[in-house]
Amino acid sequence: MKTILVKPSIKPLNRKQTIKKKTEPSVFNVTGNEKIKLPDPEVVCDAENDVDWKGKQVDDDNIQVLWSDFRDNTTMHGLKNANLKQRHRLRCCIWAAALIAMGCFLIYITYEQVSNYFKYPTIINTHVQTETSVKFPAVTLCSASPLKKEFLPNILNLEYFFLSQSVIGWMYPPLNLSKSEYSKYHLPLNASWVNDTANQIEDLFLFCKFDGKDRDCEISMEPIVTHVGVCYTFNSRKYVSKNGHIMTSRTGSTSGLLLYLIVNQSNYVFNGVMAAGVKVIIHDQNDEPDIIDKGFFVSPGFSTFASIFKTEYRYLPSPYKMNGDQFCVDTKSPDYKNPLQYYDVYSKTACRMECKQNNVIRLCGCRSPYDKGNETICSLVKLTECYKVESERFDQNGTAQEQCLCPTECEYDEYQARLSTGYFPAKNYQAVFNQMGITNIRYALACITI
């Protein structure tokens, strides 16, 4: 017996159209014992009438088609290889893990870049610029002995008192200030102490020259009260406000500032410095001279040549940072108000000086005669037993200095000096001075060229 199987059609159905097809069985000639098995009738789904199935199936198909099209045609490397329907499942898993790792790394890098952007990082640009003329800086000069011996008040054993408080004071027993004859040591100093005991201009300057031309030292030099005494500033802020900036267009020892200084060691008073000469600080007009920590000495008997280098610092104001996590203060802003009480122009140096002064006054209850303000002036005993001790302690205490909120200015200038020296005067000149009756000139005069 022969059996003929008739299979249904495997041609895909078009579900978007209603299939209305009448199935007609094939006609066969049957002879003998042959049997004919007719195909089962096709079951047709009416997609137009089955609304729920149609909407769900169309959405799923659209999403799958879009994803397959994106996966197979995207330029994202490796995405088409992460197809779970492919035969190599291990390769698919490797590609999927690589894509996830790269995605996480992309998110991390994006986060880091956005965070770094809102930290406002800055780039330091260094310029070396040649100019035909530049503003001459301020030059402050202080004698190694801020007090003049012959100007000291008539107080019993005052010179010995200063000796016992000097750098070699440990070699001498201190005075018994509890005795009645030393009662003046316990009285507050007068405000006139500063000017009465200070060196005058004629005590320090023999003559002055600038750019090869003679200048009147009394007009060019401005007295300034510092923590060590009265000093004198050439081309000060006050002088510039009245006469304008002093400009220089030449370099070398034949131009600039030339000073012949008097070093009268016979009028020196014992203090914290054993050297003889003049301390020189080169600074900007808007900055206070730091007499203690900056500058260089000019020694008698030597001619000193100082070659100046100027460095200009320009920082961006907040929210940009400088020197790590610090913010500068924009003193040039029209809305800026100077927070300092005793200084007209803000600078980091002036801010630290005022902070130190306020700290010592708070502990000792009085101020130095060289401090600014209206507080009571300390007595000689208070100056040595409290004020001097607390000042030195503050200078050595980094924690106390950090409590001073003194940000750096966004714009400021610094000066560095390169020095060279020679004997002054030469022997042939010294012989001429000796004939004129001027002796020991090498111990009494110094020369500086800036």
Distances (CA, A) of 253 to 134, 206, 235, 249, 306: 16, 19, 19, 13, 9
Beta-bridge partners for 259: 208, 448
User: Do the Cβ atoms of 235 and 285 come closer than 8 Å?
Assistant: yes
- Positive or negative, the CA dihedral 337, 338, 344, 346 is negative
- CA dist 136 and 115 (Å) reads 44
Instruction: Note if the pTM is more than 0.75.
Output: no
User: Do the Cβ atoms of 149 and 198 come closer than 8 Å?
Assistant: no
- CA dist 274 and 144 (Å) reads 8
Beta-bridge partners for 134: 248
Q: Exposed (0-12), middle (13-18) or buried (19+): which is 222, by Cβ within 10 Å? A: middle
| Parallel/antiparallel/unpaired status of strands 445-449 and 302-314 | parallel
- CA dist 343 and 237 (Å) reads 12
Q: What's the half-sphere exposure (Cβ side, CA atoms, 13 Å) at 222?
A: 16
User: Which CATH class name applies to 137-449?
Assistant: mainly beta
Residue with tokens 């996590």: 325
Distances (CA, A) of 141 to 187, 211, 260, 357, 443: 31, 19, 12, 22, 18
Q: How many CB atoms lie within 10 A of CB 14?
A: 9
Domain ranges within the chain, ordered by starting residue: 3-117, 137-449
Distances (CA, A) of 37 to 21, 25, 34: 20, 10, 10
Tokens (6 digits) for 86: 């492919």
- The tens-digit pLDDT sequence of the chain (450 residues) is 444 444 454 454 444 444 444 444 444 444 445 555 555 555 555 545 554 544 555 565 677 777 677 766 776 666 666 665 666 677 777 777 887 888 898 899 888 888 877 776 666 667 677 777 788 999 999 999 989 999 988 888 999 999 988 889 888 998 888 888 889 999 999 988 998 999 999 999 988 998 888 888 888 899 999 988 899 999 999 998 888 888 887 777 677 899 999 998 999 999 888 899 999 999 999 999 998 888 999 999 999 999 888 888 888 888 888 877 788 899 988 889 999 999 999 999 999 999 999 999 999 999 999 998 889 999 999 999 999 999 989 988 888 888 888 899 999 999 999 999 998 888 888 888 788 777 788 888 999 998
The C-alpha angle with vertex 296 and arms to 164 and 224, in degrees rounded to 5, equals: 75
The C-alpha angle with vertex 117 and arms to 116 and 120, in degrees rounded to 5, equals: 95
- CA dist 117 and 441 (Å) reads 65
Nearest 10 degrees: Cα torsion 132, 135, 138, 139? 10
User: Do the Cβ atoms of 189 and 369 come closer than 8 Å?
Assistant: yes
